[in-house]
Structure 1
Amino acid sequence: MSGSSIRYVPAVLAGKVARVATRLRGGGSAFPGYIANRLAPSLLQTLGGQFRYGVVFVLGSNGKTTTTHMISEILRAHGLRVFTNPTGANLPQGVTSALLAEATLTGRVRADVAVLEVDEGFAADLADVLAPRVIVALNVQVDQLYRFYETERVADMMLDAATRASVRVVVNREDPYLSKIDEATLRSPVSFFGASSDVVGSSAHGLVNAADTRSGNAGTRERDAESEVVSVDGRAVEIRSGDEVIPVTLPARGLHYAVDAAAALSVARHVLAGEFRAAAASDGFSRMAPAYGRGELVPLRRDPAGEQVEFVMFKNGPSLQLNVDALDGAPERVLIAVDEGTPDVSWLYDVDLGAFDHVDVVTGEKAHQIATRLAYAGIPIGVVEPDMEKAVEIMRGFAPASTGRQVWFVNYELMMIGRRILGYGDQEVARR
């Protein structure tokens, strides 16, 4: 492969040492990449230029980690060796850190393709370094306004990055901003994915994508979809992709996951070209465990055959709404946890929480703010306990749920803390 060189040994070695040290301390996943990039500014470009099937970027307000996981598993089902950043470390230093985990000391990565979740704010600059062949833009939803200020700015970041794709841009037809992409500005053709109007209409709140506030048309532009969700029954969905209808078993329930799956199928088609096989794609989904903390099941106690915790991670109003809408009834045992990793939780008042008939425990540094919102909605609360460790002990103290499962709605930081309290600080236990 091109680019591997003895000159990268000091930077790669320093990054690997930093990675071991930070893992022993229980965090700091981006720090090794920061060290390596400072020592060898051209390292990331060299690492990214080695993949026979190129680099894929996954962008979007929500769904990046899940879609990255889906694309990776479809490609693995076709026999490809896939490099990815599975924990969602999506800033340049995080991507470098993930690459360092797989690289030899001379900067060689043994993989056929890289599928990378990328932060929208850095996507264009990172694309100039890594030269992605395929870029997928999932959605523009109200998120991180304290950082981005307005949703149309996020849309522009994605659309700007899309001009760097050399083979294909894959775009959500159901998104008011992204569906209006100007194909004349692009180097490569555009394919669209989405869901049928009947499928979207059957969801209580649709896909919760942001309305277009600048074009005079708040809705979407009509587009033909290369991949379209045509039926959803729990985790069993059907997606028309090309000339085929492909049965898919989702790793977690919800319309948003079905649409992510449609995006993943389109991306895989353009990475693999003539090598794509619908049967292999369907098989990849059937073997797919949930992405880290997204519908993942972890034992509540040490007995792996006992009661389970389903982690449902959210980071903003749209992701919470979509996950609440995906519930198949009010959970028998439920915990909601938010900490300072979500600085402003005022968006909670825009989320319809009517699917809950109670919440057993509210925890995290934002516990009292969550409890106030639940109280306004008339939802009974069992305990407000800001300390996550104490909250977990309360949940463990309940009689086992008749379903054998508790449901924990958590933001990213408390998802990681909760998993660690239960004894699973890494990703290897991800299951359905």
Structure 2
Amino acid sequence: MAFNPLTPLAVGLGRATRVAMRLRGGGSAMPGHVARTLDPNFLGRAVERLPRGVVFVTGSNGKSTTTAYVTSVLRGHGLRVFTNGSGGNMPQGIVSAMLGDVDWQGHLNADIAVLEVDEAICRLIAPALKPRVGVLLNVQVDHLNRFYDPARVANYLLDFAKMCGEAVVLNADDTNLRRIAPEMVVDRAWFGIDSEVAARVSSGLPSYKAPGVEIDEIPASERTAQVVDLVGQTATIEFHGEVARVELPARGMHYAIDAAAALTAGYRLLGEEFSLEAGARALSTMDTVYGRGEIMMVEGQEIEIILMKNPPSLRMNLDALEKKPDVLMFAMDEGSPDPSWMYGIDLSKLGGVDITTGTKAAQVATFFGYQHLPVGKVIPNNAEAIRAFLALPAPEEGRKLIIANYEQTIALRRIMGQSGIEGKHNS
């Protein structure tokens, strides 16, 4: 790509904007917007010299976790990996993450880039980034205000898959991905979960199945990696006849499936260099991903925070709870434009809620009320809610729990004095 004399200015002003945004408390998109305005080819320029190219991770749920997992597996094999650990998965967010790791000519200093990419955007930026491999996780009910129909997302992913240079890594238990797979023109590698293990999830795996569509299952013999057991946070994964045990950073069947996806992607990217032992060890030593079952100490109290994005996300996290929370706060705001989907969620495992907060605190309390579950206080103001939450007696066993949508997760963590998401994986 021809040198752009404005690229050094784009890098400098982008970095300055990044510092300014961090000082004011966040904002991952603006620095990328500034840089791309000065250099519209910033994305392609950043990755053009990477020896091992680019990987996209996309789908309805699990993108951030799987991106972190794939990154860990590759680093466990000695590679220098760039990733957009800030969670900004739109073009401007990806560029913002890159600004801290590019030289003045705009080139990333890494062997490979593992990028979380929004499922609607992946097909639009693939021509610039030229991904070698795409990891397609699932097609689930999510962002109906944006996507209207999960089938539309499946078509986006099909368009993207056709642009991958070498291969796609696919969830064998997702009906929509199995449906579109025959139209993909690159090699396919499958990951998944044993059907008997999947049956332990009380609400079932949340794969959206198009009405009237019957698709043959992918047999175990054609799956590169498959979850064959999960006890607590220890997942057993069968990999080409070998067995690996992975200590997951958080509880839940969805995290085990994401680990199988990461091992499959690592194998497809590294070939004969791949070591199952090294991959499993890398996954077992990971910290929790931002907001996904994080445990934090606040004023001497242990607090766990669980991010819920949509119906499948909340269902899987509820299934993973070992018991009814002793102290619970539930937070939701305008980041969930239409929260009525919660009417379809069985909240009985929570037993009730002590505090609801965020601009939609009253609506959340209504959902609990309709299921005849007790509601403590409705406190829309986050700072006031945190003070009340910390003042509640600590449980005799376990820890206090917060369930929040993405925007509230960021806001509540900030109030509790926790570090921001920016730079978590590349600093």
Q: TM-score range by the shorter chain?
A: over 0.9
1:90-113 Cα deviation digits (max 9, x unpaired): 001111111112112221221111
CA distance in 1, matches of 2:390, 2:413: 14
Q: Which residue number in structure 2 is paired with residue 98 of structure 1?
A: 97
Q: Are the aligned partners of 1:388 and 1:418 in contact in 2 as well (CA < 8 Å)?
A: yes
Shift of 1:241: 1.6
1:260-284 Cα deviation digits (max 9, x unpaired): 1111110011111111111111111
Structure 1 residues not aligned, in runs of 5+: none
Q: Which residue number in structure 1 is paired with residue 35 of structure 2?
A: 36
CA distance in 2, matches of 1:399, 1:93: 43
**2:401 aligned with 1:412:** no
Q: Which residue number in structure 1 is paired with residue 384 of structure 2?
A: 390
1:141-180 Cα deviation digits (max 9, x unpaired): 1011111111100111111101111121011111110012
**2:116 aligned with 1:117:** yes
1:205-256 Cα deviation digits (max 9, x unpaired): 121111123xx32566434321110001111011112231111111111111
**Aligned with 1:260 (options 258, 261, 267):** 258
Q: Are the aligned partners of 1:56 and 1:116 in contact in 2 as well (CA < 8 Å)?
A: yes
Q: Which residue number in structure 2 is paired with residue 18 of structure 1?
A: 17
Q: Which residue number in structure 1 is paired with residue 357 of structure 2?
A: 363
Letter aligned with residue 324 of structure 1: L
Letter aligned with residue 68 of structure 2: H
Give me the TM-score of the superposition, normalised by structure 2.
0.95
CA distance in 1, matches of 2:251, 2:347: 17
Shift of 1:59: 0.6
Q: Are the aligned partners of 1:333 and 1:407 in contact in 2 as well (CA < 8 Å)?
A: yes
Give me the TM-score of the superposition, normalised by structure 1.
0.94
**2:51 aligned with 1:55:** no
- Counterpart secondary structure, 1:181: helix
CA distance in 1, matches of 2:229, 2:87: 29
CA distance in 1, matches of 2:165, 2:395: 51
With over 3 angstroms needed to count, the CA separation of the structure-2 counterparts of 1:365 and 1:184, relative to structure 1, is closer
Q: What is the alpha-carbon root mean square deviation over aligned residues?
A: 1.7
**Aligned with 2:330 (options 304, 313, 336):** 336
Q: Are the aligned partners of 2:68 and 2:289 in contact in 1 as well (CA < 8 Å)?
A: yes
Shift of 1:181: 2.5
**2:311 aligned with 1:317:** yes
**2:148 aligned with 1:149:** yes
5 Å matches for 1:346-357? 346-357=340-351
Structure 2 residues not aligned, in runs of 5+: none
Q: Are the aligned partners of 1:211 and 1:219 in contact in 2 as well (CA < 8 Å)?
A: no
**Aligned with 2:194 (options 171, 186, 196):** 196
Q: How many residues align?
A: 422
5 Å matches for 1:271-286? 271-286=269-284
Moved more, 374-383 or 317-326: 374-383
CA distance in 1, matches of 2:10, 2:423: 32
Q: Are the aligned partners of 1:174 and 1:220 in contact in 2 as well (CA < 8 Å)?
A: no
1:358-378 Cα deviation digits (max 9, x unpaired): 211111111111111101112
Shift of 1:39: 0.8
Shift of 1:383: 1.1
Shift of 1:3: 7.2
Shift of 1:425: 3.5
Q: Are the aligned partners of 1:58 and 1:137 in contact in 2 as well (CA < 8 Å)?
A: yes
Shift of 1:354: 1.8
Q: Are the aligned partners of 1:5 and 1:107 in contact in 2 as well (CA < 8 Å)?
A: no
CA distance in 2, matches of 1:367, 1:52: 49
With over 3 angstroms needed to count, the CA separation of the structure-2 counterparts of 1:420 and 1:405, relative to structure 1, is same
